[in-house]
């Protein structure tokens, strides 16, 4: 008959393996199979030998416990190294709509600075070939623009946390068409797994502004990603194009983010880039003389003549109101109608340098809204002035 102490100990050590719940656990079980097999055989021999005498039973217990301790220590070491190798990984899958799916992604530590720099160079090449500056700016803005300053808890407060990669948030009306931006960045995310989605979205947005001739944005990185679609914000936190009271609506949305009138007007100036497509937003013409031939996919109505060049022409053109082929939304026109907004809009129409300075500060502030940084102070890419 087997020694009951040894048998009891074996029942704990040799119990069935738990259900696999993560890539690291799968690797852990694969690495530990040979070790478990050896332990199983050794334990069986000691179990049978224990019935011969009490002294051999004691020896069996001592030997088994030593083996178990060694095995347990090896598993801990293996688990640590496996998790270390995979801590920056992300579970990425392409959804039926072509974007990132609602597959959860493990929470990441700070993005890798070298990978951030390399990803930025790849984004620059993407911009040269696809002329996608406007939609990448919009992607970064819409990920960050869900922030609510009145909610302290992360990620419930919204903001720049990578939640826009999930289908449930992509389906929000204000995010129509942004799956195309995700598709454009998919291969870059696959290539640089050490960069979080939250950082990639903001990196792409700032790089697009700079490559279009805009100001250098004082960015920092290290944003932590949300882990699943259940952490996406509810719909309705982003601004609308044609609300009944445009000035009140802009203040309601942007004040909730902690932004002020100057920052509202400065950020509106990013409409110097891009076009509005009626099939996505319900606003604008199907095409104009400025958009019918592209570059990029033709069509839509732009706010400016050179809609891939970042400058202060947005403010000049809204003020002039001379060209019917240029778009002016209610939330654009109100910048020159509301007394407080008008002070800044007039200034930016006359002084591009002031606009660039104020815009860079506002863009950087927006990109940090609601983000949880690791390390807490963030990562500044040491690449000097542009």
Active site residues: 142
Asked whether 378 and 218 are in contact (CB, 8 A), the reply is: no
Distances (CA, A) of 306 to 120, 216, 299, 312, 316: 24, 20, 14, 11, 13
Residue where the block lists tokens 């005498």: 53
The neighbour count for residue 282, using CB atoms within 10 Å, is 12
Token pair for residue 194?
């050490």
Positive or negative: CA dihedral 146, 147, 149, 152: positive
Asked whether 50 and 62 are in contact (CB, 8 A), the reply is: no
Alpha carbons 176 and 164: distance in angstroms, whole number: 12
Asked whether 93 and 101 are in contact (CB, 8 A), the reply is: yes
302 beta partners: 275
Alpha carbons 107 and 240: distance in angstroms, whole number: 31
Residue where the block lists tokens 């609308």: 240
Q: Is 260 helix (H, G, I), strand (E, B) or coil?
A: coil
Q: Which of 293, 159, 313, 309 is nearest to 223 (CA)?
A: 159
Residues whose CB falls within 8 Å of the CB of residue 132, separated by 6 or more in sequence, listed in order? 126, 181, 184, 208, 296
């Amino acid at each position: 008959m087997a020694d009951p102490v040894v048998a009891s100990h074996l029942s704990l050590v040799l119990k069935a393996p738990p259900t696999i719940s993560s890539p690291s656990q799968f690797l852990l079980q694969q690495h530990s199979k040979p070790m478990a097999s050896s332990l199983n055989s050794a334990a069986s021999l000691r179990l049978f030998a224990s019935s011969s005498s009490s002294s051999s039973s004691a020896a069996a217990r001592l030997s088994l416990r030593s083996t178990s301790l060694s095995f347990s220590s090896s598993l801990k070491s293996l688990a640590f190294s496996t998790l270390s190798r995979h801590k920056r990984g992300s579970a990425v899958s392409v959804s039926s709509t072509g974007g990132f799916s609602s597959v959860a992604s493990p929470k990441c530590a700070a993005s890798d600075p070298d990978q951030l720099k390399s990803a930025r160079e790849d984004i620059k090449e993407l911009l040269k070939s696809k002329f996608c500056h406007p939609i990448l700016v919009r992607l970064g803005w819409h990920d960050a623009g869900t922030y609510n300053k009145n909610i302290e808890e992360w990620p419930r407060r919204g903001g720049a946390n990578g939640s826009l990669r999930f289908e449930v948030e992509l389906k929000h009306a204000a995010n129509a068409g942004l799956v195309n931006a995700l598709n454009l960045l998919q291969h870059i995310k696959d290539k640089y797994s050490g960069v979080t989605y939250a950082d990639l979205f903001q990196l792409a947005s700032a790089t697009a502004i700079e490559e279009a001739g805009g100001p250098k944005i004082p960015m920092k990185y290290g944003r932590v990603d949300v882990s699943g679609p259940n952490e996406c914000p509810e719909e309705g936190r982003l601004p609308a194009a044609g609300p009944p009271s445009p000035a009140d609506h802009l203040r309601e949305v942007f004040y909730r983010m902690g932004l002020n009138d100057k920052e509202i007007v400065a950020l509106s100036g990013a409409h110097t880039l891009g076009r509005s497509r009626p099939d996505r937003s319900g606003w604008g013409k199907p095409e104009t003389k400025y958009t019918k031939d592209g570059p990029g996919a033709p069509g839509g109505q732009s706010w400016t003549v050179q809609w891939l060049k970042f400058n202060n022409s947005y403010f000049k053109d809204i003020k002039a109101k001379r060209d019917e082929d240029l778009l002016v939304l209610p939330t654009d026109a109100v910048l020159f109608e509301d007394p407080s907004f008008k002070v800044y809009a007039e200034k930016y129409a006359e002084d591009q340098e002031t606009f660039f300075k104020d815009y860079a500060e506002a863009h950087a502030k927006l990109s940090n809204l609601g983000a949880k940084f690791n390390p807490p102070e963030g990562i500044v890419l040491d690449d000097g002035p542009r």
